Amino acid sequence: MAITREKKEELLEQYKEQLEGASAVVFTDYRGISVSQIQGLRTKLKEAGATYMVVKNSILGLALDQLERERPETLLIGPKAVAFLGEDIGKGVTALKDWMRAEDKGSIEGGILETSILDAAGAAALADLPSKEDTLAMILGAISAPSGQLARTINAPASSLVRVLSAYVDKQQEAA
């Protein structure tokens, strides 16, 4: 079934909007997934800050061209659905992989991270990225660790002096 020029232009704008707002894009083969299952996957991905769309490859390729992004030619062949991932890339890919594993449907075929085209393994590995909260906690830990060490270093001579004086007092009391 052919789609109208207006529908093509609408899809082109929709794809460009999704691409501009995405931190990463993961291409999937959705064959064998029912419409109701896709709706369930969309709900799960929405909770992870991502969207999932069945795409027209030629129009998605045109959107990439217009945004001056590299076109992953091998990923634009055959029936595709795309997960547009939000800020928390790891959370989105994990939700996608978990759903595919639980339903035993679909497969990750590749992706785009910034200017890099990823193969299937690279796109799936995005799930191993720490979450935004984990990353912030690691940064906070790295920032606060030196200050804690500095405080302990500064306090160490005073603590040692207090222990020596305490031992001296105890020894004097025993001798008396």
pTM score, two decimals? 0.71
The 10s digit of each residue's pLDDT in 65-95 is 999 999 999 999 999 999 999 988 888 999 9
Domain ranges of the chain: 5-129, 130-176
62 contact partners, CB below 8 Å, separation of at least 6: 12
> CATH number of the domain at 5-129, please?
3.30.70.1730
Mean pLDDT score across all residues of the chain:
85
Higher-pLDDT residue of 164 and 73 is 73
- In 3D space, the residue among 100, 123, 111 whose CA is nearest the CA of residue 31 turns out to be 100
pLDDT tens column, 9-36: 999 999 999 999 999 999 999 999 999 9
Of 114, 112, 125, residue with least CA distance to 60: 112
